[in-house]
Amino acid sequence: MQKYVAQRLLLAIPTLFMVTIFIFVLLRVLLPADVIDLIIGEYGRNDPTLRAALEKELGLTGHLYSQYFDWVGISWFWGGPTGLIQGDLGESLHSGRPVLGELKKRVPVSFELGIWAQFTSIGFSVPLGVIAALRQDKFADYGLRSLGIMLAAVPNFWIAVLIITFGSIWFNWAPPINFQYLTDDPVAHIKIMLLPALIIGLTPSGSLIRLVRTQMLEVLRQDYIRTAHAKGLSQNTVLYKHALRNALIPIVTVIGIGLPQIIAGTVIFEQIFIIPGMGRYLVDAVNNLDYPVIQGLTFVFAFLLLISILLVDISYAFLDPRIRFS
């Protein structure tokens, strides 16, 4: 087990480096000139000294590889500026504030939203999937399977738009606009986060319901379930202690696959519900062409996703001994 974890952690390091190369190639090699032009266009005058200053500020002077080393922070080891390795994500062009400081406020908000969404999708789909499996080919089963297909087909932001539109028409209700942090006002905070978290969780749960159902059906056909019944265990013990536990193991991987969906959900819903998280920061940065922020944020997003996938894989190995020993 320790060997497996160590192996996975070691493999994550080259992947992270490749991610930085990808971002660097995408945002620096493919278009630096355009970005400078666009930013200068915002200032409204084409001034060579301004251009030079901007290029220096963006780290666009010198060779490409030295730019890359500066950004990642490898050159720090021989006296260059700090970079990603040292935890320096750069500074915003517009506000001049360091990206890391801004993220310290924003990451917890997005993370919280994502966690709640994940809980929603699991809490919603596992019971429904179990019910569908137990009532196989009955009305409830068809209804729940259709629900699963529907949820996967309907865009979640549409559900949000409908709730906001008809909430305001019928109940004169609108989502709160002023964001409150958890530490400032917990009740108001939960009021703001509840609805987006619920809706984000709906999309992944569409396919999750169907998966829990098939897993459950497969496990219920196994011999050890019959043995458990034959031992005279009660229906509930068999279902929850023997069947559900085993049925849930493969579902852990699906939670890993659903993570990008959850991240996408937080990005969208931070726009709709005006939540100051990472997604909103990203969209603002892209719209302002706040170029260091875009770079840093993309890296942080990838980093968080990589860590989450890693955790999911490790917990899967922990739950299923077959992975550990293969």
Kindly indicate which of the ranges 115-123, 148-156, 191-199, 224-232 contains the residues binding another protein, using the contact rule CB under 8 A. 148-156
Is 208 in contact with 121 (CB distance < 8 Å)?
Answer: yes
The nearer residue to another protein, 165 or 234, going by C-beta atoms, is 165
Q: Binding to another protein by residue 40, rule CB under 8 A?
A: no
Q: Who contacts 182 (Cβ-Cβ below 8 Å, separation ≥6)?
A: 108, 112, 189
Q: Binding to another protein by residue 19, rule CB under 8 A?
A: yes
Strand ranges for the chain from DSSP E: none
> 53-65: string of b/e by CB count within 10 Å (b at 16+)?
ebeeebbbeeeee
The structure tokens 């930085």 sit at 20
Residue among 144, 268, 312, 317 that touches another protein (CB under 8 A): 268
Kindly indicate which of the ranges 13-21, 46-54, 80-88, 225-233 contains the residues binding another protein, using the contact rule CB under 8 A. 13-21
Q: Token digits for 285?
A: 């940065």
Q: Binding to another protein by residue 9, rule CB under 8 A?
A: no
Q: Token digits for 99?
A: 């990206």
Residue among 25, 26, 182, 311 that touches another protein (CB under 8 A): 26
Is 269 in contact with 157 (CB distance < 8 Å)?
Answer: yes
What is the per-residue binding string for another protein in 190-229, x denoting contact by CB under 8 A? Answer: ----------------------------------------
Kindly indicate which of the ranges 50-58, 130-138, 191-199, 261-269 contains the residues binding another protein, using the contact rule CB under 8 A. 261-269
Side chain identity at 309, as an amino acid letter? I
Min CB(195)–another protein separation in Å: 15
Estimate to the nearest angstrom the gap between the alpha carbon of 81 and the chain centroid. 30
How far is it between the farthest Cα atoms of the chain?
86
Query: Which residues, 159 to 178, sit near another protein by CB under 8 A?
Result: 161-162, 164-166, 168-169
Q: Binding to another protein by residue 289, rule CB under 8 A?
A: yes
